[in-house]
């Protein structure tokens, strides 16, 4: 019998994205699966029900949860929803394992096979499944638009009959996927862009986008291409240089994060107080505690004339494209396990093995198991 792949209307507040878009639903049906959606699943992302030509419909979220062999999600399911899944169900989506202990315990207790998109290995073969990257790129783009919108200045240089307008200075802190997209977007809008990251490997990427790299003399190469935490001395040196660049900026977009840890605090109150009134900080790391001391998640704080935007869930602000990209990531992840409409997971495939959070009543992701159960 063919596998039933379900998707819900996301219930988290402000979440407009959907895990399955019509194009991907059609592909899954072509691959022999049955697609079961909750009514209105894609509505807030710009995909009303009639666009899903090949889907079948559930009357309620509960009905989809009970019938799905594979359930796709954007935000982690709550404990109650997990309780409604079939015992042998497979769940695929963002799981936030470090923050959602109760949910991970519930997945384990119910024997659900869960794959966390955060855990997909960042190897070349898995790039098309890399949902962290697809969504981070959107966040970086949108962060610059928020800054531009809040600023009382043009971003580009303008030569007009009323004289020449100087271009705005944008500083991007953290040049990972989100930061690089922020740099590219600010450059396209004509701003003068500087950028900084603790990983020196980003220097060339920053320069190739037409931005200037801020040299602080500190490098924090960690393992697997990620940053490590800095020592106190390194932090002080980095800080000194960065704060002078922050003071000179009209807009600062911060995206710095270290996996599984609170976001590094890079912009203290004193640095904000050195900025010009009217300047803007967009803190893309607000969800992880923020890169700026004054950031309040989900709020715009105005301090001595400087606006600090505690941006939350920026990808949802571009829900149409974000859903398209996310649903394609999910499809590319699932596709190798789909054959003749049935799901067969090859556990020797490192992508499935590493992305697995829970399976067979166990927490398979060692750091999560250690955090929750004290064992590896």
Q: Which residues have a catalytic role annotated?
A: 122, 127, 130, 133, 226
The verdict on 306 binding ligand NAD (CB under 6 A) reads no
Positive or negative: CA dihedral 350, 351, 357, 359: negative
Residue 127 as a binder of ligand NAD (CB under 6 A): the answer is yes
- Could you tell me which of 76, 85, 146 has the C-alpha nearest to residue 300? 146
Report d(CA 176, CA 199) in Å as an integer.
Answer: 9
Least distance CB 184 / ligand NAD (angstroms): 14
Cα(339)–Cα(361) distance, integer angstroms: 25
Interacting residues of 124 by C-beta distance below 8 A, sequence separation 6+: none
Biggest CA-to-CA distance, the chain: 72
Among 57, 213, 226, 320, binds ligand NAD (CB under 6 A): 226
Exposure string of 336-353, with b = 16+ CB inside 10 Å and e = fewer, is ebbeeeebebeeeeebbe
* Closest distance to ligand NAD from the beta carbon of 127 (Å): 5
Query: How many whole angstroms separate alpha carbon 66 and alpha carbon 4?
Result: 11
Nearest-CB residue for ligand NAD: 176
Site residues (CB under 6 A) for ligand NAD, limited to 275-304: none
Phi then psi for residue 119, to 5 deg, are -100, 0
| Contacts (CB under 6 A) with ligand NAD, residues 206-225 | 225
Options 72, 91, 266, 275; binder of ligand NAD; rule CB under 6 A: 266
Using CB under 6 A, which of 38, 118, 194, 197 touches ligand NAD?
197
Tell me the per-residue interface mask from 145 to 184 with ligand NAD, x by CB under 6 A, - otherwise.
----------------------------xxxxxxx-----
> Stretches 1-9, 58-66, 195-203, 338-346: which one binds ligand NAD (CB under 6 A)?
195-203
Say if CB 55 and CB 37 are below 8 A apart. Answer: yes
Q: To the nearest whole angstrom, how small is the minimum distance from the Cβ of residue 189 to ligand NAD?
A: 21
User: Do residues 72 and 20 lie in contact, with contact meaning Cβ atoms separated by under 8 Å?
Assistant: yes
Instruction: Give the span between the Cα atoms of 369 and 354, in whole angstroms.
Output: 13
- Tally of CB atoms within 10 A around 195: 28
Residue 213's SS3 state is: strand
Region near ligand NAD per CB under 6 A, out of 151-159, 192-200, 244-252, 368-376? 192-200
Q: Tell me how far apart the alpha carbons of residues 307 and 302 are, in angstroms, rounded to a whole number.
A: 4
Q: State the Cα–Cα distance between residues 295 and 301, nearest whole angstrom.
A: 7
The nearer residue to ligand NAD, 136 or 138, going by C-beta atoms, is: 136
Tell whether residue 129 is a contact of ligand NAD (CB under 6 A): no
Task: Give the nearest distance from C-beta 233 to ligand NAD in angstroms.
Answer: 14
Q: Which is nearer to ligand NAD, 42 or 290 (CB)?
A: 290
Q: How many residues bind ligand NAD (CB under 6 A)?
A: 29
Q: Work out which of 156, 259, 277, 305 binds ligand NAD, going by CB under 6 A.
A: 259
Interface segment toward ligand NAD; rule CB under 6 A; list 68-76, 144-152, 257-265, 359-367: 257-265
Q: Which stretch binds ligand NAD (CB under 6 A): 3-11, 70-78, 151-159, 258-266?
A: 258-266
| CB-based contact 355:333 (threshold 8 Å) | yes
- Side-chain-side CA neighbours of 115 within 13 Å: the count stands at 26
Q: Does 329 bind ligand NAD (CB under 6 A)?
A: no
Helices and strands: H and E segment counts in the chain: 12, 19
| Residues in contact with ligand NAD, shown as a per-residue x/- string from 28 to 67 under the rule CB under 6 A | ----------------------------------------
Residues that bind ligand NAD (CB under 6 A): 122, 127, 130, 132-133, 136, 173-179, 196-199, 202, 225-227, 230, 255-259, 264, 266
């Amino acid at each position: 019998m063919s596998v039933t792949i379900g998707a819900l209307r996301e219930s988290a507040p402000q979440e407009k994205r959907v895990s399955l878009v019509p194009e991907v639903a059609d592909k899954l049906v072509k691959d022999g699966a049955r697609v079961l959606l909750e009514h209105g699943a894609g509505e807030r992302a710009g995909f009303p029900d009639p666009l899903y030509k090949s889907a079948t419909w559930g009357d309620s979220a509960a009905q989809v949860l009970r019938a799905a062999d594979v359930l796709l999600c954007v935000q982690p399911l709550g404990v109650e929803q997990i309780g409604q899944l079939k015992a042998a169900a497979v769940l695929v989506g963002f799981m936030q394992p470090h923050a959602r202990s109760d949910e991970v315990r519930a997945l384990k207790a119910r024997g659900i096979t869960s794959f966390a998109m955060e855990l997909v290995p960042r190897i070349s073969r898995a790039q098309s499944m890399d949902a962290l990257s697809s969504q981070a790129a959107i966040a970086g783009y949108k962060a610059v638009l928020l800054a531009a919108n809040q600023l009382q200045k043009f971003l580009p240089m303008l030569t007009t009959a009323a004289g020449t307008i100087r271009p705005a200075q944008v500083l991007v802190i953290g040049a990972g996927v989100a930061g690089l997209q922020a740099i590219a977007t600010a450059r396209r809008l004509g701003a003068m862009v500087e950028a900084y990251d603790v990983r020196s490997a980003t220097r060339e990427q920053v320069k190739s986008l037409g931005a200037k790299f801020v040299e602080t003399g500190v490098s924090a190469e960690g393992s697997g291409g990620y940053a490590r935490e800095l020592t106190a001395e390194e932090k002080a040196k980095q800080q000194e240089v960065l704060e002078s660049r922050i003071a000179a900026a009209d807009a600062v977009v911060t995206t710095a994060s270290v996996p599984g840890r609170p976001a590094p605090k890079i912009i203290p109150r004193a640095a904000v107080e050195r900025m010009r009134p009217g300047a803007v900080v967009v803190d893309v790391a607000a969800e992880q505690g923020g890169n700026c001391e004054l950031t309040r998640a989900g709020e715009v704080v105005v301090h001595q004339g400087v606006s600090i935007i505690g941006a939350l869930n920026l990808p949802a602000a571009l829900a149409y494209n974000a859903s398209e990209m996310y649903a394609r990531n999910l499809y590319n992840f699932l596709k190798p396990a789909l054959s003749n409409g049935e799901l067969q997971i090859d556990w020797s495939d490192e992508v499935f093995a590493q992305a697995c959070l829970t399976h067979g009543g166990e927490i398979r992701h060692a750091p999560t198991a250690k955090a929750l159960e004290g064992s590896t």
